[in-house]
Amino acid sequence: MMRSPQHGWSRRPAPRVGGAAASWARPLCLAAALAYAFDATVAAAPRVDYLPQPGTRIEQLPQSGVQYPWQPTAPPAARPAPAPPAPVQPAPTARRPAPAAATHHRATARQVAEPGWPVLQLKLSTRLEWPAQHVALGQPAASPEPPAEAGTASAPLPAWWQALEAMLQADEQGTPQPELAQRIDAHAAALRALASPSLAARLGWALYRMQREAQALPWFELALDRDPTLASARQGAFYALQKTGHLQAAYAIAQDDPALRAARADVAVQLALRAREQDQPGQAVEWLRRAIALGKDTAGDRALLAWSLLQAGQAAQAATEFAALVHDRPDDADAAQGLLLSLQRSGQTARITQLAAQPGAFAELVRRQRAQRWRDLGLARDAAVLDAAADPALAGAAAPSVALGGEVRSKSGAAGTSRLRLEQSPVVHLRWANALGIWDAQIARTTVDAGGTPPVGSIGSTLPAAQQHVGASGTLRWRSVGPQGVQASVGITPAGGAVSPTWTGALAWRDLGPTHDWSVALRRSAVDDSVLSLTGLRDPASGQAWGRVLRQGLSAGGYQNLWPQWNVSARVDAETLSGENVARNAHFAASLGLGRDVPLPGMRFVSIGPNLAYEHYARNLSGFTWGQGGYFSPQEFSSASLLAVFQTADARRWVVAGQVQVGWQSVRQDATACFALPPPLVVDTPCAPLAASRSQGIGTSTALQWSSLLAPHWAVEGSALWRTGPAYQDRALYLGLRYFFSPRQALFGSDLPHRR
């Protein structure tokens, strides 16, 4: 049967030509006509770009035995004129090669014999039609309608295509099609060759909905290659690239699509997060600025930009961003923390103080961080005043407490003069803290004893009694809250002595930090080397009293870290000494030390190193006659020693601190007259002057303080002191029981009984 363009399929037999010639001429003519039509059709069809590499590939389409040669072409920008395809090679089953014409005739005949596989042509609606006339492959999406001529009809679709189209439509209507991906993979070659841009986009979206983004991406790329303006393909490619992690490619492909502006901003944020993970804060800042320019300007995006700026070292710009966030949301703790860090790193300490005065999360954070820093500096009571919730161990640290104890001290020397035994009992010590400052108050009853009665001699050498029951003494100390500030104290020397008591006090400035602790002070303090220097003596012959010596002057000292684990310490004292009917004296002292920090578990600090010290008094007033002071006053004292200082860790149920010093000492004392001042009476008995002396040898000094919790409201505390020299010993011991008005969970260095 033959197809008639006017009458459809005709059943009339062809006229007979006649004879034997007619029997073969008729098929030959038919074959020649079909071959001519096939050549014209193939020549008119544009070549299809299928393979990325050069060369010819033969593809066999499903449900068709026809083999089509696909030839690669140049890029679309410079597409050459259509060229006829290369001849198809004979089937592998042929016994011998057939001529090209014969091969062409055979392929054409087979194509005609199988009308189920004409060339496909697609519309934008992706509805497939089988045109009555030949349509070239690879044309734009709109397919020409079949000519409206009588007798034309559409050829039936292949079964695989009908099934695929039905599954596509069902998937697009929301009905999952689990086998759709497999169908697309099975017919991928034919679909890539024949699909329109819109169909390629449809296939990509179908795979995307099945979460097969990597398989969907080539279909979107194919659609864009054939139609770069197809919005659905661009958007599909964008989301597939984003899902597969190709964020920069997704950001680039969406630059010309206004519909993807917001999604493109999201990708920029994702790129910023990736840059932060890769420790590239500068790149993160750039991507975030692009996201904000695209309209993604939420508080979270601004916060991410501010943190990235801080990480990139742009602290001042980060502070500006964080300040805007804190201004809009005063209770945002994260923004407040970023603002504090950026201000600290950019050195804007004045602005920290300014902003901390305003209520909100920033002020709370500044207060909490400051309290923790003060606690680490050993100022537990200060930290508790500022923010008791900064650390659970600070509970009750600022609450009042009272201790009741006693102290005994024994100093070697000549009986009746330089020897001293001092007892203080009871000793009442109160502590409390509030916003006005840190307070300490102590009152004690004092007894002094020279250890015997000296022989009768010159004025000032005959004491009526070896022991004096002296009255009370006391001290009140105050300092401002915080590591930098003023300190002050006022007190009274023991009452009931030969010389009336007088006031003592100090005014100081202290600067304490993680790497330093320096202070400078003006002081007025009692000299407690002997009964004479502490409370004074009364001359039995004249009835006049002398003694009760005071130090008055300037002192400065502290330590400073120089290198990691190394610190230097120094102290200088310049003062005058005077008392009732006691000659004036001048004193200068200086010390210099180098320490190395030794990290040990369970210790807040341990430092050990050499120490050099030097002292000088203008006069030797160590005698006990009229005008003498009865205190150690060498004209030259020098020592070279090894000094170790330590304290156990804070925030425990017990704490111990102290120092140990061992070294070589050298002492020189000049001779001095018997009377340092003219005596009140004429003395007939000659008075021998004090002879000069020199001594040297090993000297030591050990001091300890401790405190331990017995119960939440009770603690036992104490201190011990032991000093030795070539001809000198001084020992002291204090024990006390402290009651806390609020329960305590832990103790700190500030809870130690700093006695001397």
Q: Distance between CA 272 and CA 308 in Å, rounded? A: 9
Written as six digits, the tokens of 392 are 């659970």
Confidence class for position 154, pLDDT limits 50, 70, 90: low
Q: Is the pTM of this model over 0.75?
A: no
In the chain, domain spans? 22-119, 165-256, 410-681+694-751
The 10s digit of each residue's pLDDT in 487-528 is 999 999 999 888 999 999 999 999 999 999 999 999 999 999
Residue 671 confidence (pLDDT): 94
Confidence class for position 459, pLDDT limits 50, 70, 90: low
CA-CA distances (angstroms) from residue 465 to 244, 452, 461, 542? 100, 8, 12, 16
DSSP string, 91-120: PTT-SSPPPHHHHHHHHHHHHHH-TT----
Residue 670 in this model has a pLDDT that exceeds 50: yes
Q: 489 has which bridge partners?
A: 477, 506
Residue 138 confidence (pLDDT): 31
Query: What's the average model confidence in pLDDT over 545-550?
Result: 95
Residue 30 in this model has a pLDDT that exceeds 90: no
Q: Domain 165-256, CATH 1.25.40 — does that match? A: yes
Q: Average pLDDT, whole number, for the chain?
A: 80
Instruction: Cis check for the bond before 156: say yes or no (omega within 30 of 0).
Output: no
The 10s digit of each residue's pLDDT in 367-410 is 999 999 999 999 999 999 999 988 999 999 999 999 999 999 99
Residue 137 in this model has a pLDDT that exceeds 60: no
Q: Distance between CA 218 and CA 204 in Å, rounded? A: 8
Long-range contact pairs involving 431-437 (C-beta distance under 8 Å, separation at least 24): 431/381, 431/400, 431/401, 431/402, 432/398, 432/399, 432/400, 432/401, 433/381, 433/382, 433/384, 433/385, 433/397, 433/398, 433/481, 434/385, 434/398, 435/385, 435/481, 437/478, 437/479, 437/480, 437/481
Does residue 29 contact residue 22 with C-beta atoms inside 8 Å? no
Residue 634 confidence (pLDDT): 97
Residue 55 in this model has a pLDDT that exceeds 90: no
